Amino acid sequence: MAKEQKPGRVETFVLAGSNGHNGQDWHTGLSNPASPPPGADRASRMARVATDVRTKCAAYVLALRPWSFSASLTPVALGSALAYKLGGSVDPVILMVCAVTVLMVHGAGNLVNTYYDFSKGIDHKKSDDRTLVDEILAPQDVVPHFVIRGDRIGLKYVALGDVVILITFGPLAVMFSHAVQVGYLSVLPLVYAVPLALNTEAILHSNNTRDMDSDRQAGIVTLAILIGPTLSYVLYNLLLFVPYVLFCILATRYTISMALPLLTLPMAFSLEKLFRSRCYAKIPQKTAKLNLLMGLFYVFGIILAPPGSLPSL
């Protein structure tokens, strides 16, 4: 048996003899170790694509600002809780559709806000949302071209953002979620939405107070800029603590279950201390966390209230 060495290190044995394999090559299957195994390039490409997808998805989540979604979810929960106390039942499918709808509107608004803050030069390397500043996403990835054509004036840039938030993520959202459950409009949800609306406005006001310097440089006018740091602190405290006064009134005059939101008072005092010290960096996110917890306790308080104990119009 003679042994031949072929290029590429494939070993070939030439068998000679009377066994019927004269001249037939038998390969050992030893391939060149320098060449990649079959499918390695494809696996590498798929891994890179998966990494890119994860990175882009994470960037989209950041641009959506999910920490602020409590401002959408708690009004929906509150309106549904009021519908439950009035009608005795809540359709979970309608509740989910309502929550998803409000979240989609909120998320779309955050994306548009991200785009315009970037286009107007407001966002920078120290901003909370740097998805466009760091070029993680392109502007057309955040807002489609048909949306960004033309020059539009945002209400938040002319000191009207606070009014929009106070109305939209308070009375309107609560009334909407209540109406889709009971099938008619009522002014009752508007009244119950007041504590939650004030606390939700505290999120935006703390955000605008934190961004006063950059907003002023960009030529933006917000309520925080108009009234200055001292009055902004006073307003933040009013937005933060007036809801607790209302809960105390409800708890003492109607039902003790309305005292549940008071469990979040220590968080409110902690936020007041941070605001007074002008440590604004994480106050919006922490205020949103307070908004979520206070809203949930508010909802539980309504659900646990004895029949007929809640004030009605």
- Asked if residue 222 belongs to a domain, the reply is yes
Q: How many Å is the Cα radius of gyration of the chain?
A: 31
Looking at residue 27, its amino acid is H
State the pLDDT at residue 10.
44
- Asked if residue 10 belongs to a domain, the reply is no
- Tokens in use for 57? 């998805």
State the pLDDT at residue 137.
67
- Asked if residue 288 belongs to a domain, the reply is yes
- Asked if residue 309 belongs to a domain, the reply is no
Total domains present in the chain: 1
Q: 3-state DSSP call for residue 160?
A: coil
- Asked if residue 136 belongs to a domain, the reply is yes
State the pLDDT at residue 194.
93
Q: 3-state DSSP call for residue 183?
A: coil
- Tokens in use for 125? 């390397």
Which parts of the chain sit beneath pLDDT 70?
Answer: 1-40, 43, 47, 49-50, 52-53, 116-161, 313
Looking at residue 182, its amino acid is V
Q: For the whole prediction, is pTM greater than 0.95?
A: no
State the pLDDT at residue 312.
78
- Asked if residue 35 belongs to a domain, the reply is no
State the pLDDT at residue 131.
64
Q: How far is CA 188 from CA 67, 75, 79, 287, in A?
A: 28, 13, 10, 26
C-alpha 246/C-alpha 239 separation (Å) is: 12
Structural domain including 70 reads: 47-304
C-alpha 276/C-alpha 234 separation (Å) is: 9
- Asked if residue 209 belongs to a domain, the reply is yes
Residue 54 DSSP one-character state: H
Q: Identify the residue whose tokens are 């929906």.
A: 76
- Asked if residue 311 belongs to a domain, the reply is no
User: How open is the CA angle 145-150-152, to the nearest 5 degrees?
Assistant: 110
C-alpha 61/C-alpha 168 separation (Å) is: 22
Per the DSSP assignment, residues forming a β-bridge with 5 are 11
